[in-house]
Structure 1
Amino acid sequence: MSFVVFGVLFSIFCGNVLSDICSNNSKFDCVCKSFTDQITHLPLTIADCGDAGIETLPTDLGEDLSILDVSSNEIGSLDAKLASKSLVKLILSYNNVSKVAVGFFDNLPNLKYLDLSNNFLTSFDNAEVFKKLPNLRYLDLSYNNFKSLPEFIFSPLKELRRLHLSYNDLGEYLMPNKAVLGDVLGVTPNLTHLDLSGLGLKELHTTYFDHFVELKTLSLEDNNLTTIPTIPYTIEFLDLSGNRLTVISAKYLNYHSLKVLKLNRMNTLTSIHHYAFYNLVSLEKLYITDCANLKEFSDLAFDDASKDIHHHPKFLSLARNGLESLNETYKYFFKRMEHIDLIHNPWNCDCNILWLKDFAQELNRPHELRCSYPDQLKHKKILDLEPSDLKDCFPAIYGKKSHRALIVVLAVACVTLCGLIFYLLRYPVNGFAGRHRIGPNSPYVSAPTTEPI
């Protein structure tokens, strides 16, 4: 009996879906399945139609479809209106979409997630394209060809929390106006995640982000910024990778809520100032990687390590920079860190590097830490360094360098003296005198004893 009831319920629940995009007679090659949402505990149906050769979307999606993924297809334009009261997530990424007709989204009142990334959109016909999406919380327009956007296009999206505009040609459009996102485009002040990466941004007004009082995550990577812009104090995640920063100082990093900071891929970065991260009291993860000209990391970047061993991130990545040494004071930080990545730096293996051998368990891929200098230790693993490799660091075993030099000088003097003594014994002084004695057979003639007359 229970089996029959289950079958009836399943047919009622999935009937409309099976008669449309997921039916056996459907022209779409989709994989459909049902499951229970872990948060709402409501039944959901997903249609995965990715990479199915679809060129045109169906107009009627049924009444039970919750998630539709039509990514990586051949869809060129979005013309005919979609219809589904149950659809909450629509993925249209990696298609050939170059046009979105006004009203295309009008019959999707419960849509919360919309991904239009990696298409060929250059503009929207007008600002009403998202007018009937009051519940939309996630919008991804990244990797398109936008150069501008209609005024107040985002005004209807009162529930929007995540907005991705990255990797479009929007830099010139977004920079001149100090409040363009809020005052011109109508982005809600309740936004929590904003991605402005790869837009060609050069500078941002000090009040540029004042509109966003709830912003937690901000990505500004791969722009042309030369200084760290002023950002909201609510920020917890900040990515500035791939910009043109030359120094990192505390002047621009005064955010007590910041937990994750990324400063990767900057060949212009040459210096980390003292106390650069001193004000980041909530910092948990710090990434500074792939900065070839960063040769020094200040021993006071987090203040004096010995004073407050609890004030530091748990995750530190300094991989693939130009670092040659790291001050021993960082051992106070490392003792309480969960992840430390120092691989692929040109380390100078002298006495100042030996303290890293005590952190083989904490270091990420410790056996990839190798010496670059001096030449006789090049490519040698730091963890495999022996006292004989760095004799100057072990005077109790090998003596001080000055002592060893004196011993060498004395040894040479002794050898020279011994050689001289042997030579003198072999060839005495009287032996030399006998060779020049004047006699009857001598080639030398004695001087006359009388004066000539």
Structure 2
Amino acid sequence: MFKIILKILCLLVFLVDGLVLGQLCGDDSEYKCMCKQKTDEKTHFPVVIADCSGLNIDSFPAKVDQDINYLYLSVNNIEELDPKLQKVVSNDLEILDLSHNKIRSINDEFFLNIYNLRELDLSHNQITSLGDDSIFQNLNNLEKLDLSFNELKTLPNLVFMKLSKLRSLDLGYNYLGEFLTGSKDVLTETLGLNVNITSLSLNGLNISDFHNIYFEEFKGITHLSLANNALDNIPSLPYSVEYLDLSGNNFTFVSARYLNYHSLKELLLNRMPTLKEIHHYAFYNLFALEKLSITDCPNLKAFSELAFDVAPKNERLHPKYLSLARNSLLRLNESYKYFFRTMDQVDLTQNHWRCDCDILWLREFEHILYKPHEIRCFYPSEIRHRSILDLKEKDLPDCYPAVYGKKSHRILIIILVSAVLVLIGLIFYLIRYPTSWLGNKHIGPNSPYNLASTSE
């Protein structure tokens, strides 16, 4: 009964809002935004969405209607956020997207009257400063904040102190590397970041090292991204982490010593030209691992047959997704067939595969290989660029002894045939020139025997 009443109320709200939307987003409106209504996936209540993206808007709308819940203003030409020019007062606005604009400055009071904002996206702008710590002071319900791809060098003291419900923060691709590693507790003590945060992105900050206890207080982080920095080793991380992106760093090897996270489900180690070695048992401690991606590492030529330990033949194993694409791998040990049997997808494309008898086992897993016809031979040169699925018996005769015999047998046969041919040639020579091989033994005019007989 309650569900029926809820559906009726939602329908009534939609009908009423439909009248309002015509005024806000109709052809006669100033901005001509695309407006629609939908049911929120979390609350199951109707929400009103105004999509004003890519409309060449030069300034923030002077008035945001109270009925708008989600406002998208990305890909425009907005340069500043100043309450003197655009006073924003809303109890209903929950999501505000200002990404991909030209925002340079934000007045400390601009967000003062948007009390129920849950998500704020300021990424891909030209922001150089956030003013003082009061800029987010009234955003007590904010759960997600994206400040990535700006020009920030420092952040105000305790700027995140009032954001008690913040769960996701992205500070990536700014000039904050030196500032954020100035002390071991800069996130909590200096910036006032909530220790209950679950998602943190510090990508592209040119960070070379983190203090051993840098993340110690963040015991609830599940999503951590440290990609495109200058790290030489995997830092000490919270044991709660489930998603970890370390791509684009300076690792030369991957070892179990730095990977002891039993809750980790997805690990990305892509785009590392310096990576050369995956140690034995490197992923042995990652009991929950479901997705592993190691791609675009041109100096990685081998993937240890014991990277996950010895594979039991009859157990269901992790991960379910494995990508080793665009490396320089030469071979993959046949022991991985026991892992492949329980995997959903494997990407082995664009490597330097040596096509011999040890690679043929991959063909039985065509159903899980990503673009299997793109897994091509690099060695030997005679069959370079040939797909492993298209290899014939004549391409690898050593692998088909029943057809071509064993290699040792073929070599013996060649030696015997050669010896027989040499012997036949010798016999022919002896027959053709029967006495020439003995030299000239007859008595001639100059023979000493002839002289002796004459003198007598």
Q: Report TM bin, short chain.
A: over 0.9
One-letter amino acid of the structure 2 residue matched with residue 330 of structure 1: Y
Question: Does 2:375 correspond to 1:376?
Answer: no
Find 1:47's aligned residue among 50, 55, 60.
Answer: 50
Distance in 2, matches of 1:271 and 1:9, equals 60
CA contact (8 A) 1:94 1:117 kept: yes
Per-residue displacement from partner, 1:222-248 (whole Å, max 9, x unpaired)? 000000011111110000000001111
Aligned pairs (5 A) from 1:245-284:
245-284=251-290
Find 1:13's aligned residue among 17, 21, 31.
Answer: 17
Alignment partner of 1:389: what SS?
coil
Cα offset for 1:438? 4.8
Distance in 2, matches of 1:325 and 1:273, equals 16
Distance in 1, matches of 2:436 and 2:117, equals 117
Q: Which residue of 2 aligns with 1:69?
A: 72
Question: Does 2:181 correspond to 1:175?
Answer: yes
CA contact (8 A) 1:179 1:211 kept: no
Q: Which residue of 1 aligns with 2:108?
A: 102
Aligned pairs (5 A) from 1:134-283:
134-283=140-289
* Equivalences, count: 444
Find 2:453's aligned residue among 445, 449, 453.
Answer: 449
CA contact (8 A) 1:17 1:62 kept: no
Q: Which residue of 1 aligns with 2:5?
A: none
Question: Does 2:410 correspond to 1:407?
Answer: no
| 1:24–1:350 Cα change, 3 Å | closer
Distance in 2, matches of 1:96 and 1:229, equals 35
One-letter amino acid of the structure 1 residue matched with residue 77 of structure 2: E
What TM-score, normalized to structure 2? 0.92
One-letter amino acid of the structure 1 residue matched with residue 148 of structure 2: S
Cα offset for 1:16? 5.1
Cα offset for 1:182? 1.3
Alignment partner of 1:159: what SS?
coil
Which 10-residue stretch deviates more, 135-144 or 353-362? 353-362
Find 1:56's aligned residue among 56, 59, 65.
Answer: 59
What TM-score, normalized to structure 1? 0.93
Cα offset for 1:449? 3.0
Alignment partner of 1:276: what SS?
coil
CA contact (8 A) 2:292 2:323 kept: yes
Per-residue displacement from partner, 1:191-229 (whole Å, max 9, x unpaired)? 111110001111001111112121110000000000001
Cα offset for 1:359? 1.1
Per-residue displacement from partner, 1:285-327 (whole Å, max 9, x unpaired)? 0000001111111111101013674332011100111100111
| 1:74–1:380 Cα change, 3 Å | same
Find 1:290's aligned residue among 292, 296, 310.
Answer: 296
Cα offset for 1:58? 2.3
Q: Which residue of 2 aligns with 1:89?
A: 95
Aligned pairs (5 A) from 1:343-382:
343-382=349-388
CA contact (8 A) 2:14 2:46 kept: no
One-letter amino acid of the structure 2 residue matched with residue 177 of structure 1: S
Find 1:340's aligned residue among 335, 338, 346.
Answer: 346
| 1:6–1:66 Cα change, 3 Å | closer
Q: Which residue of 2 aligns with 1:429?
A: 435
Which 10-residue stretch deviates more, 108-117 or 419-428? 419-428
Distance in 2, matches of 1:312 and 1:23, equals 53
Alignment partner of 1:447: what SS?
helix
Gaps of 5+ in 1: none
For the aligned residue pairs, the C-alpha RMSD in angstroms reads 2.3
Alignment partner of 1:311: what SS?
coil
Distance in 2, matches of 1:270 and 1:451, equals 93
Q: Percent identity?
A: 49
Question: Does 2:128 correspond to 1:122?
Answer: yes
Question: Does 2:392 correspond to 1:386?
Answer: yes
Find 1:311's aligned residue among 305, 308, 317.
Answer: 317
Gaps of 5+ in 2: 1-8
Question: Does 2:403 correspond to 1:397?
Answer: yes
Which 10-residue stretch deviates more, 179-188 or 278-287? 179-188
One-letter amino acid of the structure 2 residue matched with residue 293 of structure 1: N
